Amino acid sequence: MSAFSNLFSIEPSDVKKSCILLPFVNKTILSALGLAKLSSGKIYDVGQTKELTVIRTGMGSTFLGDAVLHLQETPAQSLFLFGACGATAHSFLDCGDLVSPKKTLSLESFSEIIRGQLKAYCESYPDEMLFGQLQELPHAKNVRTVTCATFGSLKLEEEHRWFFERHAVDVVDMECSAFFEAAQHIKRKALAIFCVTDLISQKPLFSEAAKKDQGLIDKGIVQGIKLIKNLSEGLG
């Protein structure tokens, strides 16, 4: 058994040209992908559809970024990140809305956040070709183009609203900047689509208000997965 198969439960040669990376998986995501379950490796869980290799990475930039780096030894060429994000107050987004980052600010370090050292962030970007193809899909008209901040703490989001407002950040996630940077490092195309699952000020992630929107969130998840499947079919 190779190191890759030990981590992912499949051999590198089994990976398809298009991959979807998922920080978390639930029944709605599996159903939208047409999968009953994923097979478990030491770190990553994997499934296969007709179009995609599906990889559950776990939440956070480290596990997801490493997963992308491991894909360098596989046939994967186009990588899609599908996950959840929180919307900032000025974005006018609501739970269940779909977004795709045109730019992501890297604020991955918990230590730098808690020390107030937020000035030295870098910016990361999706692949221009994939981003353009998404805009051309008929069913992608409701996908908002946004500025994202990849932020290293859920708890500290609320008290950093001032930073998000100052830098015109629309949504906050925990993986996107690492995803874009790792994909660029291994010379693979990358695109991210997120479903809004909470509103940082009005509907925090674990509040009852956010839970009431679960139907809208499930609908957004199904639509987002469908868009990625359509993109991967177009790539052959």
Distance CA 226, CA 93 (A): 21
Coil/strand/helix, residue 56: strand
pLDDT surpassing 70 at residue 210: no
Q: What is the pLDDT at residue 172? A: 97
Higher pLDDT, 118 or 207: 118
> Going from the N-terminus, what domains does the chain have, and what CATH number goes with each?
3-235 (3.40.50.1580)
pLDDT attached to residue 119 = 77
Is residue 204's pLDDT more than 80?
A: no
- Residue ranges of alpha helices (H) inside the chain are 3-8, 27-33, 61-70, 110-115, 128-136, 161-166, 176-185, 208-211, 214-235
Pair of tokens at residue 82: 């599908």
In which band, very low, low, confident or very high, does the pLDDT at 14 lie, cut at 50, 70 and 90? Answer: very high
pLDDT value, residue 209: 59
Burial of 7-26, coded b for 16+ CB within 10 Å and e otherwise, reads: bbbbebeebbebbbbbbebe
pTM: 0.95
Task: Read off the pLDDT of residues 141-188 as tens digits, 9 standing for 90 and up.
Answer: 899 999 999 999 999 998 899 999 999 999 999 999 999 999 999 999
